[in-house]
Chains A and B, each alone.
Chain A
Amino acid sequence: MKDSVVEIEKLTKFYGKNLGVRDLSFSVSEGEVFGFLGPNGAGKTTTIRLLLSLLYPTSGTAKIFGLDSVKDSLKIRKEVGYLAGDPNIYPTLTGKAFLDFIDSFRLSKKSDYRQQLIDRLGLDIKRKVKHYSRGNLQKLGLVSALMHRPKLVILDEPSSGLDPLVQVEFYKILNELKKEGMTIFMSSHNLTEVEKTCDRVGIIRQGKMVTVESIERLRHLSLRVAEIFFDNGYQKEDFEIDSVKILESGENYLKLQVPSRVINEVLASLTKYKVHDLNLTTPDLEEVFLQYYN
Chain B
Amino acid sequence: MNFNLIKKVLKDYRISVLLFSLGTSAYSAMMVSIFPSIQSSASDLAGYMDKMPAAFKEAFDISLGSFTTIEGYLSIEYFSLVWVLILISFTLAFTSQSLAGEVDKGTMETLLTQPINRLNVLFSKSFTWLVNILIIMAATFIGVFIPAAIAGIEVSYFGFLIFSLAALIFFWAFFGLGMFFSALFYDRSKAIFAPLGILFIAYLVDLVGKLYPDFEKFRVLSLFKYYGNPAEVMQDKVLPGMDLGVLFGVGLVFFIFSAIVFKRKDIY
- Complexed CA–CA distance, A52 and B268 (Å): 12
Residue interface mask A44-63, B partner, CB < 8 A = 1: 00000100101110000000
Question: Which one of B113-121, B153-161, B200-208, B210-218 contacts A?
Answer: B113-121
A102 in contact (CB, < 8 A): yes
Report which of B12, B109, B117 forms a contact with A54, defined as CB distance below 8 A: B109
A217 contacts B by Cβ under 8 Å = no
Any A CB within 8 A of the CB of B8: yes
A86 interfacial contact with B, CB 8 Å: yes
Interface residue? A84 (CB, 8 A): yes
Contacts of A74 in B (CB 8 A): 115-117
A33 to chain B, nearest CB (A): 20
Are the CB atoms of B117 and A73 closer together than 8 Å? yes
Tell me which residues across on chain B come within 8 A of A80, comparing CB atoms.
113
Q: A49-B267, A74-B117, A90-B110 are in contact. List 12 more A-B contacts (CB 8 A).
A: A54-B266, A54-B267, A74-B115, A77-B114, A84-B109, A84-B113, A87-B110, A90-B107, A101-B4, A104-B4, A105-B114, A105-B116
Shortest beta-carbon distance from B147 to chain A in Å? 35
| B117, closest chain A residue (CB) | A74
Instruction: Judge if A36 is at the interface, Cβ distance under 8 Å.
Output: no
Which residues on B sit within 8 Å (CB–CB) of A54? 109, 112-113, 266-268
The 3 closest A-B CB pairs, nearest first, are A88-B106, A104-B4, A54-B267
What distance in Å separates the Cβ of B128 from its nearest Cβ neighbour in chain A?
A: 15
Q: How large is the interface on A (under 10, 10 to 19, 20 to 34, 35 or more residues)?
A: 20 to 34
Complex Cα gap A54–B109 (Å): 7
A86 to chain B, nearest CB (A): 7
Q: Is the CB of B115 within 8 A of A78?
A: yes
Minimum CB–CB distance for B125 against chain A, Å: 14
The residues of B that contact A56 with a CB separation of less than 8 Å are 264, 266
8 contacts between A and B (CB under 8 A): A49-B109, A49-B267, A54-B113, A56-B266, A80-B113, A87-B110, A90-B107, A90-B110
Scoring A residues 66 to 106 as 1 if CB is less than 8 Å from chain B, else 0, what string do you get? Answer: 00000001100110101010111110100000000110111
B105 at interface by CB-CB < 8 Å? yes
Known: A54-B266, A106-B115. A88 touches B4 (CB 8 A): no
Bound together, the chains give a CA A92 to CA B105 distance in angstroms of 13
Q: Which residues of B contact A (CB under 8 A)?
A: 2, 4, 8, 12, 105-107, 109-110, 112-117, 264, 266-268
Chain A minimum-CB-distance residue to B265: A56
A residues whose Cβ falls under 8 Å from a Cβ of B: 15, 49, 52, 54-56, 73-74, 77-78, 80, 82, 84, 86-90, 92, 101-102, 104-106
Task: Determine whether the beta carbon of A101 is less than 8 Å from that of B117.
Answer: no
In the complex, how many angstroms separate the beta carbon of A147 from the nearest chain B beta carbon?
A: 13
Separation of A86 and B266 alpha carbons in the complex (Å): 17
Contacts of A73 in B (CB 8 A): 117
B residues near A105, Cβ cutoff 8 Å: 2, 4, 114-116
Given A87-B110, A88-B110, A105-B115, also A55-B4 (CB < 8 A):
no
CB closest chain-B residue, reference A73: B117
A185 to B105, CA, bound (A): 25
Task: State A76–B180 Cα separation when bound (angstroms).
Answer: 28
Question: Within the complex, what minimum Cβ distance (angstroms) separates B109 from chain A?
Answer: 6
A82 B113 Cβ-Cβ under 8 A: yes
CA of A88 to CA of B4 in the docked complex: distance in angstroms? 19
Q: Bound complex: CA of A106 vs CA of B2, how far in Å?
A: 12
Q: CB distance B106 to A55 under 8 Å?
A: no
Asked whether, in the complex, the Cβ of A77 is within 8 Å of the Cβ of B264, the reply is: no
B268–A89 CB distance below 8 A: no
Q: Which residue of A lies closest to B113 (CB)?
A: A82
B4: A residues at CB distance < 8 A: 101, 104-105
Least distance between B134 CB and chain A CB atoms (Å): 24
Chain A CB count within 10 A is highest, among B8, B113, B115, B267, for B113
User: Which residues in A have their C-beta under 8 angstroms from that of B267?
Assistant: 49, 54-55
Name the residue among A55, A74, A77, A88 with the largest chain B CB count within 10 angstroms.
A88
Find chain A residues with CB under 8 A from B110 CB: 84, 87-90
- Given the known interface contacts A54-B268, A56-B264, A105-B4, the answer about A92 and B12 at a Cβ–Cβ threshold of 8 Å is yes
Task: Give A102 to B268 CA distance when docked, in angstroms.
Answer: 20
Which A residues touch B114, using CB under 8 A? 77, 102, 105
